[in-house]
Structures are given as structure tokens and as C-alpha cells.
Amino acid sequence: MRNQGDRDRVSADIQEAMKRGGVYRCDRVRQHDGSFRWIEANGRAELNEEGRAVRFPGILMDT
């Protein structure tokens, strides 16, 4: 699948934000046909006292 690299990148970025807490941002994803879709994805991982992500509020806009 051509967009596997983008899926892996986005997944890794989200997992990192969930580990450390704080901001997540993404501005593009590759589609199945190989073209890019430009987006504005902003979120924030909120951690509990034990350091586990308990919320991930955010917004996704197609730009």
C-alpha cells in the first residue's frame, strides 16, 4: 500500500503525544492514489496522575 509510510508516521506521532502528553499536529496525509490531502489536525493528549493518556481532544479540518 503506497500510503503505509504516512500511516506509520501519523500513528507514531500520535503514540508519542500520548506517551509524553501535550500537543499533536499533522498537516498532510497521503491518499490511496498517492496524492496528498492537506489537513490541519491539532490535538492535545491529557495525562492523568500516573502519566497515562486519558483524553485526546482536538480538531481536524480539510484545508
Helix intervals (H) in the chain: 4-20
Could you read off the pLDDT of 22-33 as tens digits, one per residue?
Answer: 999 999 888 888
Among residues 39, 9, 43, the alpha carbon closest in space to that of 23 is found at: 43
- DSSP class of residue 51 equals S
Give the mean pLDDT of 7-35: 90
What pLDDT sits at residue 3? Answer: 60
What pLDDT sits at residue 1? Answer: 44
Fold of the domain spanning 4-62: Beta-Lactamase (3.30.450)
Compute, in degrees rounded to 10, the torsion defined by CA atoms 52, 53, 54, 57.
170
